[in-house]
Amino acid sequence: MPKKVPHFSKILIAWYLQNKRDLPWRNTTNPYRIWLSEIMLQQTRVLQGLPYYLKFVEAYPKVEDLANAPEDDVLKLWQGLGYYSRARNLHATAKIVSEEMNGTFPNNYNDLLKLKGVGDYTASAIASISFNQPEAVVDGNVYRVLSRYFGIPTPINTTPGQKEFKQLAQQLIDKKEPGTFNQAIMEFGARFCVPQSPDCGNCIFNDSCVAFQQKKVTELPVKIKAKPVKNRFFNYLVVLSENERTILQQRTGKGIWQKLYEFPLIETSEEINISELQNFPQFRTFSENLNIENISLFNEKPVIHKLSHQHLNTRFWIVETSEEKENTVPISEVKNYAVPVLIADFVSEFFENY
């Protein structure tokens, strides 16, 4: 512990009570709703997650409602929020809580941690906010606030860093109102001690903040740099049959977008032309029981869909067919499937008249 700061939590909470945003999950301690909000906000900004939270609470007011929903419905409602394993784990955990725990969430850190999709942060958040347990959360905001305030240069995305900051947060937490303390330090990081150009001149802590005193605010927190992103090349085969049907497939196995739907996909190592496309074994399989009348390229210039760890250089090939194949879906129903944003954007542009 770098220094004794007996008033840290008092000052922080006082700031929070004056400056906190009025968010729907702050008007409840219901563990189902707290859990739902915390899962949604993992690696996700409040303003991005908020509309999804409202949709989910309306569609599934109780954990039993979520548990009884088809997985496809849950994924469809989650569409656009990203990190879809969160939605799959959310649904699986709802079933466990509903069917094996009598609809009652665990009321302590250790048992919460056993739930799918619930890690150290989320278990601490639920334990403190719903059950008043003194469990400190450490999210991206907490790393930033503590590394600056105490001038700690330990890289935050390493095991020693995680341990050090967790221990420090645990020492600082207000044991009388742990939930309020946790939300206060996160809100302070999100709204005041921001990553770029924080307003240190007007900060409530600028007389004791080590980073400010030593002019190291821009250097903290320290984070090991991520590896460069990989380029991938996607060729989607958009079937357009005479009677306005197309083909959708569900993604299985590992990798991105598990259990979401997309058009038949041929991934290549580089950009290809139409004759190269037709020579791929996957294309031959695809076209076996299909009566293809014409193939055209929708976008000459690839759409570059950017994920945090890969760039998807994507071209859509329009495959007009005169016969109906099995496993086709009416184009008018495509909008009912959970699809990646990359597909949703294409669909809304190309199928807007269907």
Partner DNA sequence: AAGGCGGGGAA
Partner DNA sequence: TTCCCAGCCTT
Candidates 121, 205, 234, 286: give the one binding DNA (CB under 7 A): 121
For position 123 contacting DNA by CB under 7 A, the verdict is: yes
CB 184 within 8 A of CB 190: no
Question: How many angstroms from the chain centroid is the CA of residue 293?
Answer: 41
* Residue span binding DNA (CB under 7 A) among the ranges 33-41, 98-106, 209-217, 238-246: 33-41
Q: How far is the CB of 262 from DNA (least distance, A)?
A: 10
* Residue span binding DNA (CB under 7 A) among the ranges 44-52, 99-107, 209-217, 314-322: 44-52
Q: How far is the CB of 28 from DNA (least distance, A)?
A: 12
Q: How far is the CB of 123 from DNA (least distance, A)?
A: 6
For position 159 contacting DNA by CB under 7 A, the verdict is: yes
- What residues from 76 to 115 belong to the interface with DNA (CB under 7 A)? 80-85, 89
Q: Which two tokens stand for residue 180?
A: 């309020």
Residue linked to tokens 């299985």: 252
For position 255 contacting DNA by CB under 7 A, the verdict is: yes
Q: How far is the CB of 31 from DNA (least distance, A)?
A: 15
| Cβ neighbours of 249 (radius 10 Å) | 12
For position 45 contacting DNA by CB under 7 A, the verdict is: yes
> Rounded to whole angstroms, how far apart are CA atoms 223 and 236?
37
For position 197 contacting DNA by CB under 7 A, the verdict is: yes
313 to 231, 234, 285: CA distances (angstroms): 7, 6, 23
For position 12 contacting DNA by CB under 7 A, the verdict is: no
Alpha helix ranges (H) inside 79-139 = 85-100, 109-112, 120-131
* Residue span binding DNA (CB under 7 A) among the ranges 103-111, 141-149, 205-213, 285-293: 141-149
Question: What residues are annotated to the active site?
Answer: 38
Q: Which of 60, 342, 354, 9 is nearest to 180 (CA)?
A: 9
Q: How far is the CB of 278 from DNA (least distance, A)?
A: 28
CB 147 within 8 A of CB 222: yes
Nearer to DNA, 191 or 325 (CB): 191
Residue linked to tokens 């020693």: 160
For position 183 contacting DNA by CB under 7 A, the verdict is: yes
Q: Angle at Cα 261 formed by Cα 255 and Cα 262, nearest 5°?
A: 90
For position 37 contacting DNA by CB under 7 A, the verdict is: yes
> Rounded to whole angstroms, how far apart are CA atoms 24 and 30?
12
Which amino acid does the sequence have at 190?
A
Name the DSSP letter for residue 123: H
For position 133 contacting DNA by CB under 7 A, the verdict is: no
Name the DSSP letter for residue 106: -
For position 117 contacting DNA by CB under 7 A, the verdict is: yes
23: Cβ contacts below 8 Å, ≥ 6 apart? 46, 50
Candidates 62, 95, 116, 325: give the one binding DNA (CB under 7 A): 116
Q: How far is the CB of 67 from DNA (least distance, A)?
A: 17
Q: Which of 116, 73, 121 is nearest to 96 (CA)?
A: 116
Nearer to DNA, 30 or 89 (CB): 89
| Interface size with DNA, residues (CB under 7 A) | 62
Q: Give the footprint of DNA on this chain (CB under 7 A).
A: 23, 25-26, 37-38, 41-48, 80-85, 89, 116-123, 137, 139-141, 143-144, 158-160, 182-183, 186-187, 189-190, 195-197, 223, 225, 227, 254-257, 305-310, 340-342
